[in-house]
């Protein structure tokens, strides 16, 4: 049995959606499949936009709401034969009227709790899966629309909920055992629910995770992530069109790439399937014959080098300067506690011993809250001169060269610096990770795209990854 997930980019237009229907129809003839579906491309962004407008008291949120409705009715019309639309039409209109009420509430109150926000932004998947189920049924394939919130149980960290795997795995097993032979389950990605039954979301792009959670619980043969590119590539093809597909990645490599910005797969998606060794195959909906990327247990040839260049945006660089030597450790421990309280991740960290400063990169989304909290936390130190200035820079990008065994590749590090230098790119902070799996540096956002392109060119046109073990073996005459 396979879990097959289609992203929003695969169903962004009627023509594209049709391709997905064809792939599902063909696959189910050969094997048992469970389908996980994202919202139609752009719909989650529009839902977020509608929330923002409503919260700001702007009645234009209604235009966005109307557009969302029109898109789905139009897809339904084009993809499902007229006489088989009735049920899906009813489902869609019910979902839309609930959405309408929630948005009106936000508009009237001019506020939106994280709980309400999740129940609104998860709507796109409920709409898209009802169209897919109807389209499959109208084509003679029995499909049943299932609600992920019934079996993916999470904590109440709305927006980025953590899955309770013990409960979830049991619920998934029970739910899917009950599905009749020959029926194709169609599940909405992205959503879960907390113990009170309130809708939560797993994080942006979280439908990949929905698929691997289900696959892990049911010990599936494989998970297929169908998207709009030929797999995981050596860089984002939107920036580097000549980027090439990585045919094979270990779970660890895929996670590293995803955490450092390769948007094609959700960072946590590897976790539920890694222990059982269930492979994830990333495939292109528009080139179904392309073999894509295999993520799984791979053979390690002992070689090293760069696999891909990635970038992360919407980040801020924050520095606490001139910390008195004797307070340094205390300041660091309190700073970490503060970041943990605010649930802000530290993406890169750099501490200078000489002038006792500590700099870190974190998400920009709460930067003003963070700066205020730092000022409050270190009020005494700042007033008494035990700590000096706080500086910050918004809108920075972290670019990373990701691969393995960078410790034995001084040529690679030299190439990074040469490339930055030759292109006049200033690095604000540099980190050669202790795991030797990435080198990352912080640059200003306007430099992001040309940095990625220049580095990719330098690595993949001028630099051939060296297999150190093989060189050693050759030298030793083995």
Binding of residue 308 to ligand ADP (CB under 6 A): yes
Residue among 124, 216, 231, 304 that touches ligand ASP (CB under 6 A): 124
Q: Is 205 in the site for Mg ion (CB under 5 A)?
A: yes
6 binds ligand ASP (CB under 6 A): no
Q: Which residue is nearest to ligand ADP (CB)?
A: 7
Shortest reach from residue 307's CB to ligand ADP, in Å:
9
Residue 9: CB minimum distance to ligand ASP, A: 9
The binder of ligand ADP chosen from 2, 4, 9, 201 (CB under 6 A): 9
If binding is defined by CB under 6 A, does position 207 make contact with ligand ASP?
A: yes
- State which of residues 32, 84, 115, 263 lies at the interface with ligand ADP (CB under 6 A): 263
Instruction: Return the number of the residue (204 or 450) whose C-beta is nearest ligand ASP.
Output: 204
Taking the C-alpha atoms of residue 173 and residue 184, their distance in angstroms, rounded to an integer, is 16
In the region spanning residues 264 to 293, those forming contacts with ligand ADP, defined by CB under 6 A, are 264
Q: If binding means CB under 6 A, how many residues of this protein chain bind ligand ADP?
A: 19
From the list Mg ion, ligand ADP, ligand ASP, none, partner contacted by residue 19 (C-beta under 5 to 8 A by kind): none
205 touches ligand ASP by CB under 6 A: yes
CB of 12 to Mg ion, least distance (A): 12
Site for ligand ADP contains 205 (CB under 6 A): yes
Q: Where does this chain touch ligand ADP (CB under 6 A) — which range of 145-153, 175-183, 235-243, 317-325? A: 235-243
* Tokens representing residue 379 in the block: 């009020």
Distance of closest approach, residue 155 Cβ to ligand ADP, in angstroms: 24
10 near Mg ion (CB under 5 A)? no
Identify what 233 binds: Mg ion, ligand ASP, ligand ADP, none; CB under 5 to 8 Å per kind.
ligand ADP
Q: How far is the CB of 291 from ligand ADP (least distance, A)?
A: 15
Out of 22, 110, 238, 297, name the contact with ligand ADP by CB under 6 A: 238
Binders in 18-77 for ligand ADP, by CB under 6 A = 38
Which stretch in 54-62, 202-210, 323-331, 432-440 sits in contact with ligand ASP by CB under 6 A?
202-210
User: Would you say 471 and 428 are in contact if contact means Cβ atoms under 8 Å apart?
Assistant: no
**Does residue 272 belong to the site contacting Mg ion (CB under 5 A)?**
no
301 in Cβ contact with 250 (< 8 Å):
no
Rule CB under 6 A: say whether 38 interacts with ligand ASP: yes
Kindly state whether residue 10 participates in binding ligand ASP, applying the rule CB under 6 A.
no
Q: Which residues, at least 6 apart from 322, have a Cβ–Cβ distance to it below 8 Å?
A: 355, 356, 357, 387, 388, 389
Per CB under 6 A, does 89 bind ligand ASP?
Answer: no
Determine the Cα angle at 133 with ends 129 and 136, to 5°.
135
The neighbouring-strand residues paired with 282 are 225, 293
Does residue 200 bind ligand ASP (CB under 6 A)? no
| Burial classification of residue 352, based on how many CB atoms lie within 10 Å of its CB (0-12 exposed, 13-18 middle, 19 or more buried) | exposed
Decide if residue 168 touches ligand ADP (CB under 6 A).
Answer: no
List 79, 186, 262, 370, residue binding ligand ADP (CB under 6 A): 262
Among 52, 147, 228, 252, binds ligand ADP (CB under 6 A): 228
Task: Select from ligand ASP, Mg ion, ligand ADP, none the partner in contact with residue 229, using the beta carbon and a kind-dependent cut-off of 5 to 8 Å.
Answer: ligand ADP
Nearest Cα neighbor of 149 from 202, 186, 191 is: 191
Q: Which of 5, 6, 7, 175 binds Mg ion (CB under 5 A)?
A: 7
Residue 252: phi and psi, rounded to 5, are -65, -45
Question: Footprint of ligand ASP on this chain (CB under 6 A)?
Answer: 7-8, 38-39, 44, 124, 189-190, 204-207
Question: Footprint of Mg ion on this chain (CB under 5 A)?
Answer: 7, 205
Question: Footprint of ligand ADP on this chain (CB under 6 A)?
Answer: 7-10, 38, 205, 227-229, 232-233, 235-238, 262-264, 308
């Amino acid at each position: 049995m396979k879990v097959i997930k289609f992203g929003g980019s695969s169903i962004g237009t009627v023509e594209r959606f049709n391709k997905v229907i064809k792939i599902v129809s063909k696959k189910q003839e050969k094997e048992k499949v469970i389908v996980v579906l994202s919202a139609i491309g752009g719909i989650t962004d529009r839902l977020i936009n509608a929330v923002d407008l409503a919260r700001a008291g702007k009645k234009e949120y209604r235009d966005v709401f109307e557009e969302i409705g029109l898109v789905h009715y139009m897809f339904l019309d084009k993809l499902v034969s007229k006489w088989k639309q009735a049920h899906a039409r009813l489902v869609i209109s019910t979902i839309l009227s609930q959405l309408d009420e929630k948005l009106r509430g936000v508009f009237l109150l001019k506020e939106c709790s994280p709980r309400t926000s999740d129940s609104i932004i998860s709507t796109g998947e409920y709409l898209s899966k009802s169209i897919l189920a109807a389209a499959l049924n109208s084509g003679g394939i029995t499909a049943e629309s299932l609600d992920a919130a019934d079996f993916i149980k999470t904590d109440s960290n709305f927006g980025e909920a953590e899955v309770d795997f013990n409960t979830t795995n049991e619920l998934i097993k029970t739910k899917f055992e009950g599905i009749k032979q020959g029926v194709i389950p169609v599940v909405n990605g992205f959503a879960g629910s907390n113990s009170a039954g309130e809708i939560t979301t797993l994080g942006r792009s979280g439908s990949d995770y929905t698929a691997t959670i289900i696959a892990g619980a049911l010990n599936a043969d494989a998970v297929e992530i169908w998207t709009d590119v030929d797999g995981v590539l050596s860089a984002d093809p939107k920036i580097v069109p000549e980027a090439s597909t990585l045919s094979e990645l270990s779970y660890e490599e895929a996670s590293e790439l995803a955490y450092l910005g390769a948007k094609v797969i959700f960072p946590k998606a590897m976790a539920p399937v890694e222990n059982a060794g269930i492979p994830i195959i990333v495939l292109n909906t528009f080139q179904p014959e392309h073999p894509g990327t295999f993520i799984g247990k791979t053979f390690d040839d002992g070689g090293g080098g760069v696999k891909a260049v990635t970038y992360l945006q919407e980040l801020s660089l924050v520095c606490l300067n001139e910390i008195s030597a004797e307070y340094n450790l205390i300041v660091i421990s309190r700073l970490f506690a503060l970041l943990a309280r605010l649930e802000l991740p530290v993406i890169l960290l750099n501490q200078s011993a000489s002038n006792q400063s500590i700099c870190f990169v974190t998400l920009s989304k709460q930067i003003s809250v963070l700066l205020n909290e730092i000022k409050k936390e270190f009020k005494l130190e700042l007033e008494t001169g035990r700590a000096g200035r706080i500086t910050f820079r918004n809108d920075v990008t972290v670019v990373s060269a990701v691969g393995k065994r960078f410790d034995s590749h001084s040529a690679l590090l030299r190439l990074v610096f040469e490339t930055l230098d030759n292109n006049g790119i200033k690095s604000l902070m540099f980190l050669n990770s202790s795991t030797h799996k990435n080198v990352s540096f912080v640059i200003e956002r306007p430099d992001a795209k040309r940095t990625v392109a220049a580095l990719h060119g330098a690595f993949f046109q001028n630099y051939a990854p060296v297999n150190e073990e093989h060189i050693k073996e050759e030298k030793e005459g083995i």
